Amino acid sequence: MPKRPPYFAALRVHRRRLFAWRCAAPVLPLAACLAAMREVHAQVQSALAPAGVQAAQILELWHLTLAVCSLVFAAILLACFVALLRAPRADRATPPELRSIEHSEPRLRRPVIVATFVSAVLLAGLVIADVLTDRALSRLPVADAVHVELTGHQWWWEVRYLPSDGAPGFTLANELHVPVGRPVVVSLVAADVIHTFWAPNLHGKKDMIPGQKSTISFRADRAGTYRGQCAEFCGAEHALMAFLVVAEPPAAYDAWAARQRALALAPSGESAMRGQEIFMTGACARCHTISGTSATGRLGPDLSHLASRRTLAAGTLVNDRATLARWIADPGALKPSAMMPPTRLSPSDLDALVAYLGTLE
């Protein structure tokens, strides 16, 4: 079986640890419970482990909403419990009590009025907190920002870094690299159906509607690799449409961007050179682009630096040579309904093609 990215294994570990945490919660001190919960959620994409100022604002709003709703829920349960305790007892022979139909119950009027007033105040408070959070999210300074255009396809992400400071732009797929502490402005485009950009460790959700452009801005304040996901059902492979946001120190980001701007390396070994010939003369070059070559296809992801990416098929598979060979031979077997058709090659030609793609660092 092809290997899954480490996030799938992390999710299984997350579930086991979360179950253990829930079982141990009644006997652990509160501080220990909270620390365990933070450690569990830090391993997978999670809005509970913010890595940027905007995600932290959203988490504060969530905590406030959870606290208010929990208090209201507890108050309702308490009122129901008191009502059950104070209710008069009856048996089958007791006649029905119908006086409340014709006469008001003044003893209940005051509690109902107070409860209604408190509910209105709490709801108004949540609305105000929501508006203030939204204003805080929109006030992120975007001076000296990195500008990226992100296009959602069925079912992968095209990432185009726009030219800046005289340096040319470049294109890759399913990965965003951002410098820590520097704002990023992402222009969102949907190529086919509605998609939704969601990187919960960094920001909230933003819809991507065909024919309309929108933007989302965020800043990563902590280095790390954060998983994102399409959050709007967009077809059969919606659940397998993920991306990575790699936040790294500015120097490391600049070095990575310089490598991405460079032309793809020319193959040197005999097998890789044979693989390049297969790529250029076959159907691959009609769908994919490799910089510095005659391959300029636009239907599929840009493969100029494919070997430097961590995953294949929008976060579905680990990017290694064995999995890449399986993906080329029959994408539908690994990601059903994938748009890429099978590539029928002999074993030797497939090995040569994989060897060539493996040189595209």
84-109 tens-digit pLDDT: 888 777 778 888 777 767 777 677 78
Q: Which of 87-91, 161-165, 208-212, 264-268 has the highest mean pLDDT?
A: 208-212
Give, as one character, the DSSP assignment of residue 199.
-
**pLDDT above 90 as % of the chain:** 66
Give the per-residue pLDDT at 9: 54
Handedness of CA 262, 166, 173, 249 (dihedral sign): positive
- For residue 205, what are its two tokens? 């959700």
H/E element, 120: helix 106-138
- Cβ(164)–Cβ(181) below 8 Å: no
pLDDT of residue 31: 47
Superfamily of domain 146-261: Cupredoxins -  blue copper proteins (2.60.40.420)
For the whole model, what pTM was predicted? 0.79
pLDDT score, position 8: 52
- Under DSSP, the state recorded for 307 is G
Q: Tell whether the model's pLDDT for residue 37 goes beyond 60.
A: no
Question: How many H helices and E strands in the chain?
Answer: 11, 12
Q: Are 287 and 299 in contact (CB under 8 A)?
A: yes
Give residues with Cβ within 8 angstroms of 25, minimum separation 6: 33
> What does the block give as tokens for 54?
């905007």
Q: Is the pLDDT of residue 182 over 60?
A: yes
Per-residue confidence (pLDDT) for residue 4, from 0 to 100:
57
Summary mean pLDDT of the chain: 86
Report whether pLDDT(301) > 60.
Answer: yes
Superfamily the domain 270-357 falls into: Cupredoxins -  blue copper proteins (2.60.40.420)
Look at 39 and 53; give whichever has higher pLDDT: 53
β-sheet bridge partners, residue 246: 177, 225
What percent of the chain is predicted at pLDDT more than 70? 87
What is the distance between the alpha carbons of residues 248 and 253, in angstroms, rounded to a whole number?
A: 6
Rounded CA Rg of the chain: 27
Question: pLDDT (tens digit, 9 = 90+) per residue, 255-286?
Answer: 999 999 999 988 888 999 999 999 999 889 99
